[in-house]
């Protein structure tokens, strides 16, 4: 497989040629109301994106490309942001993990396994009573208490995407709503977003037929939306955190630096696919005197991106002990790295808001 000469769309061209999801208007009016309520109550709001995006191969979709993400990072982080007093817009892949219910995922910890039918005093089960297994009660009580209190406070707003096209349209529209909060908004882009897609104009209408030998698909590059997100959609006001995923650990820091240099946002969190649950690196710029309005920073020379002791960037590693037993969050209270990631971001966001004053 090669990745040479993909067609490159600018964000503007992308949105001019690819159709919005049919529920966009409705979804966004929900976000608008949510943001207005949080603004009135003076809360900071974070948009958390979570889970993988699909790339359909046909208009009547039978086949699609997907990726590994279960949405653990996003769902877990959303809980810690809520605990820290943020309101959360949780934009996630349909059926991926969600805050609170993630503790009882059907595949790792099915809730039916710890419910019991209580027989009545005379030995029958009429009327039937259902109770939670004794050793699960404390954990469930904690999760349920947090869930109910977020529900009562109405500080969690959930929305879903499936395709990379849904994701891009939603991201732009939600960002344009959230930017009214200015510096009080944070964007935590943990979704695993496809780099390639098949434009609608190149898609087969019906199921691709077999019988003609091997299948060749040429995909176009998904536009890099971080630059317009920083400069146009948030007008430089939002605290934007992106994630950089690599499978070659050597590439993490240079790639994260290159992303910061190119897009000019606040933090890139680098994570290696196999180490992501116990090790991440925060890459940010060392504080520099602000440039005069309208002046764009010069792109950095290549060696600065690779330099182990860079004068421009600073790296902060967050590590937790490597779990030794199977990390089942409901039965085995292991430390979650998202707790430290979110604590560090909350601190940095606060300082950033202070500095802007
Ligand atoms: C991440 O790197 C997330 O941390 C993971 C979380 C997807 C690894 P899980 O859902 O995994 O907990 O299983 N997200 C960003 C991945 C991504 O698409 N990054 C793009 C890139 O690396 C840039 S925005 O180029």
Per residue in 26-81, pLDDT (tens digit) is 999 999 999 999 999 999 999 999 999 999 999 999 999 999 999 999 999 999 99
* Domains of the chain by start residue, with CATH: 11-208+217-237+320-356 (3.40.50.10300)
Give me the pLDDT at residue 355, please: 87
Which residues does 111 contact at the CB level (< 8 Å), separation at least 6?
A: 104
Span 103-120, mean pLDDT? 88
pLDDT, tens digit, 9 for 90 and up, residues 175-195: 999 999 999 999 999 999 999
Determine whether the shortest distance from the Cβ of 193 to ligand 1 is under 6 A: yes
Are 88 and 153 contacting, i.e. CB atoms less than 8 angstroms apart? no
Could you identify the atom of ligand 1 that is nearest to the CA of residue 244?
A: 22
Closest protein CA for atom 17 of ligand 1: 192
Which is more confidently placed, 290 or 300?
300
Whether 301 shows a pLDDT value over 90: the answer reads no
Give the range among 135-139, 217-221, 267-271, 306-310 with minimum mean pLDDT: 306-310
**Residue 2: which pLDDT band, with cuts at 50, 70 and 90?**
very low
pLDDT score at 331: 47
Q: What is the ipTM of this complex?
A: 0.96
Q: Which atom of ligand 1 is nearest to the CA of 194?
A: 18
Residue 104 has pLDDT above 80, yes or no: yes
C-beta of 244 in contact with ligand 1 (< 6 A): yes
Ligand 1 mean position, distance from CA 300 (Å) = 25
* pLDDT band at residue 288 using 50, 70 and 90 as cut-offs: low
The response to whether residue 69 sits with its C-beta less than 6 Å from ligand 1 reads yes
Rounded Cα gap, residues 29 and 266, in angstroms = 28
CB of 90 closer than 6 A to ligand 1? no
Integer Cα distance of 188 and 94 in angstroms: 18
Predicted pLDDT of residue 212 = 80
Q: Say yes or no: CB of residue 70 within 6 Å of ligand 1.
A: yes
188's tokens: 């935590």
Mean pLDDT of the residues in the chain: 91
Q: How confident is the model at residue 333 (pLDDT cuts 50, 70, 90)?
A: low
How far apart CA 258 and CA 242 sit, in angstroms, is 12
């Amino acid at each position: 497989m090669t990745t040479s000469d993909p067609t490159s769309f600018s964000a503007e061209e992308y949105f001019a040629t690819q159709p919005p999801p049919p529920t966009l208007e409705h979804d966004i009016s929900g976000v608008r109301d949510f943001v207005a309520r949080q603004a009135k109550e003076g809360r900071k709001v974070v948009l958390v994106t979570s889970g993988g995006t699909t790339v359909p191969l046909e208009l009547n979709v039978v086949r699609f490309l997907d990726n590994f993400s279960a949405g653990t990072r996003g769902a877990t982080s959303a809980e810690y942001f809520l605990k820290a007093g943020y309101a959360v817009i949780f934009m996630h892949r349909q059926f991926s993990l969600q805050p609170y219910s993630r503790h009882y995922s059907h595949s790792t910890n099915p809730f039916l396994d710890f419910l019991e039918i209580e027989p009545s005093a005379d030995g029958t089960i009429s009327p039937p009573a259902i109770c939670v297994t004794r050793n699960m009660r404390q954990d469930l009580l904690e999760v349920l208490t947090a869930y109910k209190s977020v529900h009562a406070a109405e500080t969690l707003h959930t929305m879903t995407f499936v395709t990379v096209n849904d994701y891009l349209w939603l991201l732009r529209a939600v960002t344009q709503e959230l930017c009214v909060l200015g510096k009080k908004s944070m964007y935590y882009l943990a979704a695993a977003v496809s780099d390639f897609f098949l434009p609608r104009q190149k898609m087969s209408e019906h199921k691709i037929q077999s019988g003609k030998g091997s299948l060749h698909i040429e995909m176009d590059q998904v536009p890099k939306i971080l630059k317009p997100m920083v400069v146009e959609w948030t007008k430089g006001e939002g605290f934007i955190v992106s994630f950089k995923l690599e499978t070659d650990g050597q590439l993490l820091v240079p790639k994260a630096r290159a992303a910061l240099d190119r897009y000019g946002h606040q933090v890139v969190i680098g994570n290696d696919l196999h180490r992501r649950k116990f090790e991440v690196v925060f890459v940010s710029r060392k504080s520099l005197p602000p440039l005069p309005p309208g002046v764009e920073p010069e792109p950095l020379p290549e060696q600065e991106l690779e330099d182990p002791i860079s004068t421009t960037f600073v790296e902060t590693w967050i590590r937790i002990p490597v779990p030794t037993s199977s990390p089942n969050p409901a039965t085995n209270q292991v430390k979650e790295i998202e707790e430290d990631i979110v604590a560090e971001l909350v601190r940095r966001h606060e300082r950033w808001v202070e500095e802007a004053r």
